[in-house]
């Protein structure tokens, strides 16, 4: 019990005094996971759109595969990427193993299925009537797709946030691809695993609090953005009567 209390006390000291190691690990975590999220978003929206807006044989099967990959274990992605980028692998010449870039690659692959799948779901959520309306207004194929994506923006945003959440909280890829090298590839999750093993509960708890704080901030941002849509109804109540 005393250990836990000491740990929490130490954790707050580390956070309040802005411990350099804590900051460095947090910054690297954010850098890697945000990069992976941005890259995955840039792939998931067009790919999701391509799948949603086209009819082809095997579409249902493809979507089922994507959905299955939502829950792929992080260590399997870790293994896969390890084999790809290790020196003897097909991408070995780039020397990505045990680098942040390698971790970004791994996390991107990890969150791509869930983001693509949720983008498809988001687009399916847009009323069929909207698409007809856009076409009848003279939209080209591209214009109508762009507007439909825009119409689904809030649902797509939550797909992005979910992807980021999965990226920043995973251990498998970070450990296997990054290798948890201090000052190079050590991120929040791998750090917690290591420090706990070494009995540094204070630092572990501090890192855990930071991780939770990031999750909280993400949720707050999401609520703020979606309530931007909701607050319109408040505006209505105070707005001019029609």
Which residues here bind other proteins, judged by CB under 8 A?
127, 129-130, 132-141, 143, 147, 150-151, 229, 232-233, 235-236, 239-240, 242
Quote the least distance from Cβ 24 to other proteins, whole Å. 42
Our CB check for other proteins shows the closer of 147 and 158 to be 147
Q: Nearest-CA neighbor of 52 among 131, 139, 162, 165?
A: 131
Our CB check for other proteins shows the closer of 88 and 129 to be 129
Helix, strand, coil percentages, rounded to 5, for the chain: 80, 0, 20
Dmax over Cα atoms in the chain, in whole Å? 70
Q: Using an 8 Å Cβ cutoff, are 191 and 25 in contact? A: yes
Count Cβ neighbours within 10 Å for each residue of 74-102 and write b for 16 or more, e otherwise.
Answer: beebbebbbebbbeeeebeeeebbbbbbb
Our CB check for other proteins shows the closer of 135 and 212 to be 135
Quote the least distance from Cβ 240 to other proteins, whole Å. 6
Quote the least distance from Cβ 224 to other proteins, whole Å. 17
Our CB check for other proteins shows the closer of 144 and 191 to be 144
Quote the least distance from Cβ 141 to other proteins, whole Å. 8
Quote the least distance from Cβ 76 to other proteins, whole Å. 38
* Residue 236, helix vs strand vs coil: helix
- The owner of tokens 């990226």 is 167
Our CB check for other proteins shows the closer of 87 and 237 to be 237
């Amino acid at each position: 019990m005393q250990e836990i209390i000491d740990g929490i006390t130490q954790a707050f000291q580390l956070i309040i005094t802005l411990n350099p190691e804590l900051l460095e690990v947090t910054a690297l975590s954010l850098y890697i996971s945000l990069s992976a999220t941005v890259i995955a978003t840039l792939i998931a929206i067009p790919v999701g759109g391509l799948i949603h807006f086209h009819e082809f044989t095997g579409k249902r099967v493809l979507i089922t595969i994507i959905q299955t990959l939502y829950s792929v274990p992080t260590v399997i992605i870790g293994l896969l990427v390890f084999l790809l980028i290790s020196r003897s692998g097909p991408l070995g010449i780039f020397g990505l193993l045990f680098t942040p870039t390698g971790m970004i690659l791994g996390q991107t692959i990890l969150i791509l299925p869930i983001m693509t799948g949720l983008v498809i779901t988001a687009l399916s959520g847009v009323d069929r009537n909207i698409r007809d309306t856009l076409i009848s207004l003279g939209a080209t194929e591209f214009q109508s797709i762009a507007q439909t994506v825009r119409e689904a923006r809030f649902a797509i945003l939550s797909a992005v946030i979910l992807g980021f959440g999965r990226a920043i909280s995973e251990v498998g890829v970070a450990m296997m691809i990054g290798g948890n090298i201090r000052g190079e590839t050590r991120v929040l999750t791998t750090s917690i695993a290591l420090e706990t093993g070494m009995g540094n509960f204070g630092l572990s708890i501090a890192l855990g609090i930071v991780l939770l704080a990031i999750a909280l901030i993400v949720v707050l941002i999401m609520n703020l953005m979606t309530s931007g849509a909701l607050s319109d109804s408040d505006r209505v109540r105070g707005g001019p009567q029609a």
